[in-house]
């Protein structure tokens, strides 16, 4: 079978009558910024053409100016008001997912996906959407691991496990105590404990669990993690329908993070924990939230006096017993001053 080169025949490819480049299309549409973007290189031809189609499909162009009886242009008083020449997209309602991502600066934002109640009404009122967000990262910063994490998250973990949804624990610093979790309402039969120590193994295990999307909640302890790794986890969590918690040290509050929600939890007296919302969608929250966190196994045997240990400690300093030599020296100094 001979080719066209062997036969000496030049192929004929029909060309369009007018061929315009992407720059010409953007210039004709009045899109100067996009034209410069093409010259810089970050936008491809497909992206620019998609922008052009979107602009031309939603923007209403002004009608051509009508001429008066004398053939001249009409006066400015006879033109349509500017609001009738505005974009029609402003009158259309945004999709629910897009509208949930927008909020005013003085209001508390929402969440596009579902949320799970934390079990504390005071905390739900401070969280966007009224609970822990699904499909996004939630950072829990603590001063010491395995002290307040389960006391803060036992409510939502108990709700998920009682509903039969599995919960994964990646690299906790201490072995989970099943009887204590059972007292807090957590069904240990639906807990999956992944015992890993190396930071690289912790991160890899967390990524695989988030990619799988088969868990109702993932609780990972990541003491050493970089900002770009958190950003990658946030992108992966956007495709997950469950909760993703990252337990990090308290010093990480000084670093930037791609997680949309960051809280700091500290143990307090009188069986309470103080929660500070460091980052959320909405106005900043300056005050701390005090939450009751008495373990379930102690609630039935705790006496009223032991429920408030701070009341048993005297705040007034007691009389200090000093030696006779120190008392004589103190008296001599007081006499010298007088």
In order of 90, 120, 125, 188, the CA distances from 117 in angstroms are 34, 8, 10, 20
Digit-coded pLDDT (tens) for 204-216? 999 999 999 999 9
Residue 276, domain member (yes or no): yes
Residue 183, domain member (yes or no): yes
Contact 232, 105 (CB under 8 A): no
- pLDDT range class, residue 92, cuts 50, 70, 90: low
Identify the pLDDT of residue 108. 76
- pLDDT range class, residue 50, cuts 50, 70, 90: very low
Q: What is the number of other CB atoms lying within 10 angstroms of the CB of residue 269? A: 10
User: Looking at the predicted structure, is the pLDDT value of residue 320 above 80?
Assistant: no
CA 264, distance to chain mean position in Å, is 14
Residue 278, domain member (yes or no): yes
The pTM of the full predicted model, rounded to 2 decimals, is 0.65
| Domain, as residue range, for 277 | 115-311
Residue 92, domain member (yes or no): no
Average pLDDT over residues 187-196: 94
Residue 238, domain member (yes or no): yes
CATH number for 190 = 3.40.50.300
Residue 47, domain member (yes or no): no
Q: How many domains does the chain have?
A: 1
Identify the pLDDT of residue 163. 95
In order of 195, 206, 249, the CA distances from 201 in angstroms are 10, 8, 18
- pLDDT range class, residue 62, cuts 50, 70, 90: very low
Residue 21, domain member (yes or no): no
Residues linked to residue 267 through DSSP beta bridges, in sequence order: 273
Q: What is the number of other CB atoms lying within 10 angstroms of the CB of residue 133? A: 25
CA–CA separation, 197 vs 173, rounded Å? 9
Digit-coded pLDDT (tens) for 94-134? 776 676 667 677 677 776 678 999 999 999 999 998 999 99
Torsion from C-alpha of 223, 296, 215, 239, nearest 10 degrees: -70
Identify the pLDDT of residue 338. 65
């Amino acid at each position: 079978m001979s080719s066209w080169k062997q036969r000496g025949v030049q192929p004929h490819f029909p060309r369009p009558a007018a061929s315009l480049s992407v720059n010409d299309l953007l210039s004709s549409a009045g899109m100067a910024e996009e034209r410069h973007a093409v010259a810089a290189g970050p936008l491809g031809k497909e992206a620019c053409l998609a922008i052009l189609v979107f602009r031309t499909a939603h923007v209403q162009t002004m009608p051509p100016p009508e001429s008066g009886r004398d053939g001249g242009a009409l006066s400015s008083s006879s033109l349509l008001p500017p609001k009738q020449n505005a974009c029609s997209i402003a009158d259309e309602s945004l999709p629910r997912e897009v509208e949930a991502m927008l909020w005013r600066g003085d209001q508390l934002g929402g969440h596009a996906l579902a949320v799970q109640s934390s079990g504390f009404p005071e905390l739900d009122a401070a969280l966007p959407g009224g609970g822990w967000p699904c499909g996004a990262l939630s950072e829990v910063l603590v001063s010491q691991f395995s002290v307040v994490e389960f006391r803060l998250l036992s409510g939502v973990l108990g709700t998920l496990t009682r509903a039969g949804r599995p919960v994964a624990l990646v690299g906790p610093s201490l072995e989970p105590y099943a009887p204590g979790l059972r007292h807090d309402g957590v069904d240990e039969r639906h807990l999956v404990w992944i015992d890993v120590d190396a930071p690289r193994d912790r991160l890899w295990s967390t990524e695989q669990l988030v990619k799988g999307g088969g868990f109702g909640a993932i609780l990972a302890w990541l003491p050493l993690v970089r900002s770009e790794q958190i950003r990658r986890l946030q992108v992966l969590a956007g495709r997950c329908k469950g909760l993703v918690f990252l337990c990090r040290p308290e010093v990480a509050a000084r670093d930037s993070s791609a997680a949309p929600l960051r809280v700091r939890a500290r143990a307090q007296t009188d069986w309470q924990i103080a929660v500070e919302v460091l980052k959320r969608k909405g106005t900043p929250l300056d005050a701390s939230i005090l939450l009751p966190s008495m373990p379930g196994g102690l609630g039935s045997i705790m006496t009223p006096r032991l429920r408030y240990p701070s009341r048993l400690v005297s705040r007034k300093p007691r009389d200090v017993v000093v030696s006779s030599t120190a008392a004589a020296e103190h008296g001599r100094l007081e006499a010298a001053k007088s």
